[in-house]
Amino acid sequence: MLFRSRFLLLLALAALLAFVSLSLQFFHLIPLSSAKNAVSSKSRKRILPDPATEPPVLDPVNEALLYCNTPSVAERSMEGHAPHHFKLVSVHVFIRHGDRYPLYVIPKTKRPEIDCTLVADRKPYHPKLEAFVAHMSKGPRAAFESPFHALPLYPDHQLCEMGELTQTGVVQHLRNGQLLRDIYLKRHRLLPDGWAGAQLYLESTGKSRTLQSGLALLYGLLPDFDWAKVYFRHQPSALFCSGSCYCPARNQYLEREQRRQYLLRLKNRRLEATYGDMARLVDVPAKQLRAANPIDSMLCHLCHNVSFPCTRSGCLDLGHLRVLKAHQLDDERDRREKQLYRAYALLGAHPLLNQTAGRMQRLAEGARDEVFALYSAHDVTLSPVLSALGLSEARFPRFAARLVLELWQDRAEPRAHGVRVLYDGADVTFSTAFCRDHHQRSARPMCPLENFLRFVRRGMFESLGGAGATYHEACHREGF
Ligand SMILES: *[C@@H]1O[C@H](CO)[C@@H](O)[C@H](O)[C@H]1NC(C)=O
Ligand SMILES: *[C@@H]1O[C@H](CO)[C@@H](O)[C@H](O)[C@H]1NC(C)=O
């Protein structure tokens, strides 16, 4: 009971802090430096780098709750904000799937009882939930590339299967879709009323949680869409590298990055002691417990307000989760400093960013197809893309995270196109590697498209020390 009331208090406090810091800092209502005095520095959003100050100290439990992304108050976002003389040309959306059941079980404990059926009068509510289920029940095979035919179009198990999308996950993406609908369709008329299938580009990895997340977002964006106009492509690789996945140098960077991660873990005595304590509670060797990635399950308990599992020797608790999460945050900090991950990310994210750059260029030259592109993906997709774009300060992708690239045309100067980048609703355009300097030099409201194209085609490899190199050359470079 004590746990419950403390948990509730924490949840409420974190939500309040997150909301205050979001309103104050994301939307520049007050400058960052005074925001820090107004709100506890622990709650600071870590999206905008502030090299003048110490790295912020983040509270692990608060960070864990932000990761849950529990649907609550209506979200404010900066998507679609542009001066009147700009016309919206296209929108490119990269999402992480919504809330899911854990991928691992903590050995010798009861797994959390979470219901993965969709029920309109169960929290979190969404007015379109029933209509979504009804519409999905009519989904024809022709709307999907072949490996998807075996997948259900919405979650439907009384006890969730491993990795299954939950009702929370569906609601998160229905809300994402609705938010994008209000901004891009209603306000900016990105699609005409009788839109054509060719105006959409939809791609998902082969997991049910990504496909279902993509469908929920699409349904929020285009309620009761015409199935005949919808086609989901299948992407076998979590990096969305399509035909360009072979890249030995990328794999080498990843191996060195994993070694860094391993060495950092060994140095953390508190973490080792915590694993030891947890292993004693559930009565398995510490190694076995660590391999079961207990933080994944514990986050599920936290996000769903289900008490942590107990055994005869005692219970896992918030203290354990705090240490595990604190280590994750340390690891992210170390990862930024060592730069190995960034090298991996530049090569890993190139094919996807290159595809996006190509699509933007075609649209800027007058093409009218694929004005809305949706990639339904994973944390291991979004993380490298964020890092490659130079957004290394961005938070680890939470459930239902969204990264949006917007392409605009200047009506006053029709050949000039601008790009905006938004992460979970925050405008991060001028924090990207390709537009950081632009901000200081000019008063333009967005980043020139050329900056993005130059970065993707050349700049990405220059940061790897290979000026003038192509993707293929950078992937086959030796002796770094
Ligand atoms: C968490 O669970 C408790 C007891 O089961 C319940 O009273 C409370 O309303 C729940 N909190 C939230 C935020 O759903
Ligand atoms: C990049 O995109 C262009 C088309 O815009 C394509 O011709 C080229 O093969 C792509 N390169 C890679 C490495 O994906």
Is residue 194 packed enough to be buried (19+ CB in 10 Å), middle (13-18) or exposed (0-12)? exposed
The confidence score (pLDDT) of residue 469 equals 87
Same domain, 376 and 352: yes
Q: How far is the CA of 113 from the centre of ligand 2 (A)?
A: 46
> Is 417 a domain residue?
yes
> Is 7 a domain residue?
no
What total of structural domains would you count in the chain? 2
351 close to ligand 2 (CB < 6 Angstrom): yes
Same domain, 390 and 309: no
Model confidence at 57, pLDDT cuts 50, 70, 90, reads confident
| Contact assessment for residue 81 and residue 445, using Cβ atoms and an 8 Å cutoff | no
> Is 56 a domain residue?
no
Same domain, 445 and 347: yes
The confidence score (pLDDT) of residue 20 equals 39
320, 338, 356 — which closes off a domain? 338
pTM for this prediction = 0.88
pLDDT in tens, 352-399: 999 999 999 999 999 999 999 999 999 999 999 999 999 999 999 999
308, 338, 368 — which closes off a domain? 338
Residue 262 token pair: 């391993």
> Is 216 a domain residue?
yes
Same domain, 283 and 426: no
For residue 361, give the ligand 2 atom closest to its CA.
5
Q: How far apart are CA 213 and CA 204, in angstroms?
A: 9
> Is 465 a domain residue?
yes
Residue 209 token pair: 């949680």
Q: What's the chain's average pLDDT?
A: 89
The confidence score (pLDDT) of residue 183 equals 98
> Which of 5-9, 174-178, 323-327 shows the lowest per-residue confidence on average (mean pLDDT)?
5-9
Q: How far apart are CA 18 and CA 328, in angstroms?
A: 19
pLDDT in tens, 16-54: 434 434 333 333 332 333 333 333 333 334 444 444 445
402 pLDDT exceeds 80? Answer: yes
Instruction: Residue 248: name the closest of 43, 419, 471 by CA.
Output: 471
> Which of 33-37, 183-187, 272-276, 370-374 shows the lowest per-residue confidence on average (mean pLDDT)?
33-37
Torsion of CA 96, 97, 99, 104, to 10 degrees: -100
Same domain, 296 and 440: no
Residue-by-residue DSSP string for 111-151: PP----S--TTSSSP-TTHHHHHHHHTT--GGGB-GGGGGS
Same domain, 131 and 254: no
> Is 67 a domain residue?
no
Same domain, 203 and 260: no
Same domain, 224 and 301: no
Active site residues: 97, 379
Same domain, 349 and 369: yes
> Is 411 a domain residue?
yes
For residue 123, give the ligand 1 atom closest to its CA.
14
> Is 167 a domain residue?
yes
Same domain, 324 and 412: no
Model confidence at 74, pLDDT cuts 50, 70, 90, reads confident
55 close to ligand 2 (CB < 6 Angstrom): no
The confidence score (pLDDT) of residue 438 equals 73
State the residue range of the domain holding 131.
73-241+341-475
Same domain, 221 and 369: yes
315, 338, 361 — which closes off a domain? 338
CATH number of the domain residue 170 falls in: 3.40.50.1240
Same domain, 254 and 392: no
pLDDT in tens, 410-440: 999 999 999 999 999 999 999 999 999 876 6
Place of tokens 């997948």: 151
4 close to ligand 1 (CB < 6 Angstrom): yes
pLDDT in tens, 101-114: 999 999 999 999 99
Q: How far is the CA of 245 from the centre of ligand 2 (A)?
A: 12
pLDDT in tens, 217-237: 999 999 999 999 999 999 999
